[in-house]
Amino acid sequence: MPTEEHHYHGPVIHGGVRSSQLAWGNEKVVQNLSVSKQIAPGFEDVARVVADVVRRLGDLGLPGPDARDAAENADAVLAEVVKPEPDRGIVRRGLTALKGTLAQLAAGLLAGAHDGAVQTGKELVHALGQLPF
């Protein structure tokens, strides 16, 4: 019994694709996807401050593991505040972890941070500290 052989010379997508982006054979690609979600009442300031942290993380020059931890904690907080009834414990733990990473930066304890990152770290820690959690 003969077997069929398929040779694909490009991306192959099986099944439905929704809200996806694909770049193939490009040197440099910038893709943006915007998804808006309603923030739970009372969590607007949390979302604003954490979104600012996320926006500025790439400019800080944090070491890889610290940058990943900060991004994961920020993502967890942002995912929680769009739920109909956010778990305040998850939000508080995520904010505390973010402050911990950024406090190390603000204190000058993280090697490899970019110029001005210590001051930015101080500003972000202050903003996180003003949140009522």
Whole-structure pTM over 0.75, yes or no? no
pLDDT of residue 92: 97
Q: For residues 46 and 95, is the Cβ–Cβ distance under 8 A?
A: yes
Indicate if the pLDDT at residue 80 is higher than 80. Answer: yes
**pLDDT tens column, 5-18:** 877 777 777 777 77
Q: For residues 117 and 60, is the Cβ–Cβ distance under 8 A?
A: yes
More confident residue, 55 or 112: 55
Lookup: tokens for 13: 């997508």
**Rounded average pLDDT over 113-117:** 74
71-74-110 Cα angle (round to 5): 50
Cα 88 to its chain centre, rounded Å, is 19
Indicate if the pLDDT at residue 30 is higher than 90. Answer: no
Every domain of the chain and the residues it spans: 44-129
